[in-house]
Structure 1
């Protein structure tokens, strides 16, 4: 985990103890009636989010469209899209939520992530998951039951290649590094921020000791308290990873509308939202990532209201 002397601004913009930031999950549009977004004006939406002071844009990794799941995400390859967003933004942190690591070769992931880190001048967070669509695993000829172990070992490979020069290492599932090869570029800030997305089949003890941040879907107060306590108990040197959550989000046009949940969708007016977010900040949540797919309003409208009312209220409180 980063300590207070080495934390890069790109990471601190999203994850800082005692502060709660808000990010957006791509695609940056509302498409409640379709599994496919239009990607219309997505570069303008990214700039609008940056100007509104959102902390981050999170890019999803969905290799295939599964009709049973009903959401193709932004459709574009996450690393290609991250490179595109790097060119149309200047300050906002870019990250992945998350690369389905067991389906990918970790040497290639390390190279891709380090490339985006370089192109963004270090404003990249590598979010890694095991995915939520088991049907994709046979297409890659990967054993679904081996996903948790592949995830752990692949993270070790990424750390080894990004943080060491001419490393020597042997792996069970991937390659052997004999000390004759070195991967470049190295991380801008000396270390690539790695974030777990979902449980990824891992015990909390492992997450507490091996990632810099963890974003899950758990957003209820009692469960948050339990998670943060478990992370603190298991952390090395008393420095647990930052915790945040993601949610499907529908900002009610009525600012006085109460909190409502429809399965995995939060519908809420801005006044109740501010109160809820401040409460979660006080519990220790450091980041909330919003997915606008189910929004009944345009993404532009939601981003504008959040930037005018919600984000300033969080900064001022």
Structure 2
């Protein structure tokens, strides 16, 4: 990593937005192409709410080698036994920093930061710092969260999370991207423009995509965010899934004919490679060859990225990566 220039000198002048040049964004989202990402942890644990986190760095390096485009970290502040899932355990931004030091080019993202529970001014500082230090490998997925039990411990009303998301996002963008920003928020204070936050993002803006609807309309997401990652649609709904998004993003926001579209969820990789798509809780079961065919259909429907979480598959993770690397990724590997 070349750190010969001060961080402030690497930022574009006058807050110029060059998101189409952002390396992490480009690796994941390409016009008329589809890439594959993995949701952390890189470990299967179908019978346990938490992973052991053994060999996670080795699996990250292996994923990068076989052409996985991105690793996505979930944001789960507290363990709720009713949900039975703690993600990768570690705070997503701190964990991303660790993985960045252990890998070279793979995009590192969040899927997604629970924005209503985050302090947006400090989040902007953290995100800009990570994007600078990783030389543009960070993509920030943001969500409103789906666990009502987490909100009371933060003293926040769960029912206001949609409005709070919009408020926090506006402050986050202004503070993180504009020089000496002015803003006023009932929740997050105000600034008269006499203070500035450094560093600024290396490409003018760290890409921010919506993970789920975040209590917003699809129109709001298309107008305000740099992409959308939704839940896995049924195969017969792929064309509708793509068309609904394309109709809202007809013009280039990222150097292409529209903003990128993705979907993600749990993957049960069936031992029979020809096993057809079957819905499971939080995702789908499928064989590797059928998965390859499904991804081709998704690409033709306008989907740019698919984020998979094989934690529910009762097989060693290295074995899953080998199968994805030999059957699926040759057609969808990141370039």
Tell me which interval the TM-score lies in, with the shorter structure as reference length. over 0.9
Q: Which residue does 2:332 correspond to in 1?
A: 314
Conserved in 2, the CA contact under 8 Å of 1:55 and 1:92?
yes
Q: Of the candidates 259, 264, 274, which is equivalent to residue 282 of structure 2?
A: 264
Tell me how large the CA RMSD over aligned residues is.
2.0
Normalised by the size of structure 2, how large is the TM-score? 0.89
Change (3 A) 1:221 1:252: closer
SS at the partner of 1:166?
coil
- For the pair 1:173 / 2:190, whether they are aligned, the reply is no
Of 187, 195, 199 in structure 2, the residue corresponding to residue 185 of structure 1 is 199
* 1:119 counterpart = 2:137: no
3-state SS, counterpart of residue 98 of structure 1: strand
Gaps of 5+ in 2: 1-15
- Secondary structure, in 3 states, of the residue corresponding to 2:169? helix
Q: Which residue of 2 aligns with 1:280?
A: 298
Aligned-residue offset at 1:132:
1.2
> Contact 1:168/1:178 (CA < 8 Å) preserved in 2?
yes
SS of 1:134's equivalent in the other structure is coil
1:109 aligns with 2:123: yes
Q: Which residue of 1 aligns with 2:227?
A: 213
1:236 & 1:179 partners in 2: Cα distance?
A: 34
Report the CA distance shift for 1:242/1:6 in structure 2 as closer, same or farther (over 3 A): closer
1:142 & 1:274 partners in 2: Cα distance?
42
Q: Name the CA distance, whole Å, in 2 between partners of 1:261 and 1:83.
A: 34
Q: CA deviation at 1:145?
A: 1.3
Does structure 1 conserve the Cα–Cα contact (< 8 Å) formed by 2:39 and 2:71?
Answer: yes
Alignment partners' CA distance in 1, 2:194 and 2:17: 31
Residue segments in structure 1 that go unaligned for 5+ positions in a row = none
Which stretch of structure 1 is more off in the superposition, 263-272 or 273-282?
263-272
| Distance change in 2, residues 1:25/1:266 (3 Å) | same
Match of 1:296 among 287, 300, 314: 314
Distance 2:320 2:28 in 1: 20
Q: 1:260 to 1:6 in 2, by over 3 A?
A: closer
Q: Contact conserved, 1:209 with 1:236, CA < 8 A, in 2?
A: no
- 2:11 alignment counterpart: none
> Are 2:269 and 1:247 equivalent residues in the alignment?
no
Tell me the distance in 1 between the aligned counterparts of 2:119 and 2:17.
29
Match of 2:25 in 1: 11
Judged with a 3 Å threshold, the aligned counterparts in structure 2 of structure 1 residues 237 and 314 are, in CA distance, closer, same or farther, namely: closer
**Residues 141-180 of structure 1 correspond to what in structure 2 (within 5 A)?**
141-180=155-194
SS of aligned partner of 1:170: strand
CA distance in 2, matches of 1:243, 1:235: 10
Counterpart check, 1:198 vs 2:216 = no
Kindly tell me the number of residue pairs found equivalent between the two proteins: 315
SS at structure 2 position matched to 1:34: coil
Distance in 1 (alpha carbons) for counterparts of 2:97 and 2:249: 33
1:226 correspondence with 2:244: no
